[in-house]
Amino acid sequence: MSEMNVSHELRSVALGDHRRNTRARRIVDAIARRPSEGFPGAFDTEAELEAFYRFVNNGAIRPDALLAPHSGESWRRAVEQGGVALVLHDTSEFTYRGEVAREGLTQKAGSQGFHGHFAIAVAEGEAPVVHGVVGHRSYVIDSGTWFEAVGDEEEEFVELLVGSERWSDVVADTRKGAPDELPLIHVMDREADDYVLWSRIIDQGDDFVIRAQHNRRLAGEAGKLFAALEDKPFVVSREVRLSRRGKRRPPGSRRTHPPRESRPARLSVRATRLEVLRPASAAPVGLPTMTLSVVEVVEIDPPPDATPIHWLLLSTLPINTPEDICRIVDIYRKRWLIEEFFKSIKTGCGAERRQARSLRSLLNTISLLIPVAWRLLVVRAMSRHGPTAPAEHIVDAVELKALRHLAKGVKLPRRPTCRQVMLAIARVGGHLKSNGDPGWLVLGRGMERLIEFASGWRAAMEVMLNGDNSEM
């Protein structure tokens, strides 16, 4: 599939000058060939490296302009897929070690950083089809106040009245960028339990599935949210496999999502419709009450040393049948893909190892890394959770031929699966079967060798084709 090519992701980039457009595409191609390398190793010559640094430090280059073509390709893939697009939202902190101050970053003891708020579009359904990144804004926090990094020459930062506004801002961005005919369901964790945010999602014609955090007041004499399902029967039982969650996470994330090993889990589910009162702090935004579907998911007989699953999900979607209820649960279970995206861009692409010296250059760099991180995520997710799907979901014909040459000792069948291809890529990166499933680093190394080899193959084919044309 030619659309899996990272170079295609920037084919419509518009930076106001064709030379900048060409430079952006060349930079992304170079990074894609060696995603785990530092920038000095990603570029073949000192001149190319200098050109890269000039590019990311150029005040005329904006992160949103660099992201726009990839987002456009992501929406195109979503429309081709059909159905609805799930838009997964979350925030991750990017931390840079060292005492040397980087202009514009939040300063901490021994490190600096910023927060990136992302939205990725994925397909609904069993296979983890990732369309791409469709929203991204960046923020720094100073004395508890959130500031958005807008990258404008006149005003680099805009103060947010409330830090949670970032959720509403990116929700609006995604609807503005999405095709009008494409239905969106926004999927968020507990930090998005916000009445104003729900109202804005509904006002723009979208749906949501959001995990509850607050014990909200209900209309009339119905009491409060957390006790409202106590007398409701469980109507669905599900057997699922929980994915592994590592320890290398921010402290806040470890508290709400503690580490765990992959394990089977038996879930019981019940649901009802409830009328939630608008809190005084939200007025006058939205209606005085909002009727939502509430789905509770409880793990039955968890292991003694495990934190049991317990989700309370709020949604605008119907719950008329057991299938409707299961759909809401399955939509929320897709949220792990955005956590995997953060691992892809930070570990697979080394976003926190980049040595840019200012927030401006870091944000431009992150935008250039996004298409590469998306490509790595596609390979990893499909191979793990859609292992028997055809290999063309993650590599194109040229890359598959290149992989057959590179993966010494791995014999791929004539029509390999996604998992077979992923393991071959990891083998190219130095992975050994005895080490279990490959991690992001080894997969990144394998992908860089594959993309570089396939890139040379494409160039040779183009030269041959042009030569044939010139002789006609």
Please report whether residue 33 resides in a domain.
no
- The predicted model gives 303-317 an average pLDDT of 91
The domain boundary residue, chosen from 354, 369, 404: 354
Query: Nearest-CA neighbor of 121 among 75, 183, 189?
Result: 75
pLDDT of residue 380: 84
| Integer Cα distance of 450 and 457 in angstroms | 11
User: What pLDDT is stored for residue 38 in this prediction?
Assistant: 66
**Mean pLDDT on 310-326:** 96
Q: What's the pLDDT at 427? A: 87
- Is 76 found in the same domain as 224? yes
Q: What is the mean pLDDT of residues 225-248?
A: 81
448 occurs within a structural domain: yes
Q: What CATH number does the domain containing 419 carry? A: 1.10.740.10
Give yes or no: residues 86 and 217 share one domain.
yes
Selection from 180, 195, 201, 63 nearest residue 133 by Cα:
63
Is the per-residue pLDDT at 314 higher than 50?
Answer: yes
| Residue 251, pLDDT score | 52
pLDDT at residue 372, rounded to an integer? 84
What is the structure's pLDDT at 255? Answer: 57
Query: Looking at the domain assignment, is residue 15 inside a domain?
Result: no
* Mean local confidence (pLDDT), 232-240: 89
Q: What is the CATH number of the domain that holds 275?
A: 3.90.350.10
Q: Is residue 108 part of a domain?
A: yes
Q: What is residue 157's predicted lDDT score, i.e. its pLDDT? A: 66
Q: Say whether both 231 and 273 belong to one domain.
A: yes
Please report the pLDDT score of residue 354 as a whole number: 77
Instruction: Tell me the pLDDT band of 468, cut-offs 50, 70 and 90.
Output: low
For residue 23, tell me if it sits in a domain.
no
Cα–Cα distances in Å, from 9 out to 76, 109, 404, 442?
Answer: 11, 38, 25, 24
The pLDDT value given to residue 33:
67
2 or 427: which carries more pLDDT confidence?
A: 427
Domain end position, chosen among 354, 378, 407? 354
354 neighbors 105 (Cβ within 8 angstroms)? no
Segment (H or E) for 323: helix 322-333
What value does the mean pLDDT of the chain take? 84
pLDDT one-digit tens code per residue, 388-413: 888 887 888 888 888 888 887 788 88
SS3 assignment, position 272: strand
pLDDT digits 0-9 by tens, 243-270: 666 555 555 555 555 666 677 888 999 9
CB 115 within 8 A of CB 91: yes
Quick: pLDDT tens for 31-78.
766 666 666 766 777 888 888 888 888 888 888 888 999 999 999 999
Among the residue ranges 152-156, 218-222, 275-279, the one predicted with the least confidence is: 152-156
Any domain includes 309 = yes
2, pLDDT greater than 50: no
- Is residue 133 within 8 A of residue 374, CB to CB? The reply is yes
Write the pLDDT tens digit of every residue in 151-167: 555 456 676 656 678 99
For the chain, how many structural domains are there in total? 2
Q: Is the pLDDT of residue 339 over 90?
A: yes
More confident residue, 133 or 47: 133
The pLDDT of residue 470: 44
| 82 & 123 share domain | yes
Residue 251 within any structural domain of the chain: yes
* 138 has pLDDT over 70: yes
User: Can you tell me the distance from the alpha carbon of 221 to that of 240, in angstroms, rounded to the nearest whole number?
Assistant: 37
Phi, psi of 125 (to 5 degrees): 130, 175
Q: What is the pLDDT of residue 201?
A: 97
Q: What is the pLDDT of residues 442-456, one digit of tens each?
A: 887 787 778 777 777
**pLDDT at 123 (0 to 100):** 94
Asked if residues 95 and 318 have their Cβ atoms less than 8 Å apart, the reply is no
Selected residue with higher pLDDT from 350 and 328: 328
What value does the mean pLDDT take over residues 282-291? 92
Same domain, residue pair 299 and 396: no
Whether residues 166 and 234 share a domain: the answer is yes
- pTM for the model stands at 0.86
Query: DSSP letters of 215-271?
Result: --BBSTT--BGGGTTTTSPP-EEEEEEEPPB-S-S-HHHHHHS--B--EEEEEEEEE
Contact (CB, 8 A) for 31 and 369: yes
Same-domain status, 433 and 284: no
Q: Return the pLDDT at 396.
A: 83
For residue 1, name the pLDDT band (cuts at 50, 70, 90).
Answer: very low
Is 129 in the same domain as 194?
A: yes
- The mean per-residue pLDDT over the stretch 178-190 comes to 96
Residue pLDDT, tens place only, 68-86: 999 999 999 999 999 999 9
Q: What is the pLDDT of residue 190?
A: 94
Q: Are residues 414 and 320 located together in one domain of the fold?
A: no
Q: Report how far residue 129's alpha carbon sits from residue 289's, in angstroms, rounded to the nearest whole number.
A: 36
Residue 396 and residue 329 share a domain: no
Q: Which domain holds residue 460?
A: 387-471
Note whether 176 and 301 are same-domain residues: yes
pLDDT tops 50 at residue 27? yes
For residue 472, what pLDDT band results from cuts at 50, 70 and 90?
very low
277 shares a domain with 172 = yes
Domain end residue (candidates: 300, 335, 354): 354
pLDDT digit string, tens, across residues 103-126: 888 887 778 889 999 999 999 988
Residue 45 domain-assigned (yes or no): no
Tens of pLDDT, residue by residue over 342-375, are: 999 998 888 888 777 788 888 888 888 898 889 8
C-alpha distances out from residue 334 to 305, 375, 381, 439, Å: 25, 18, 11, 20
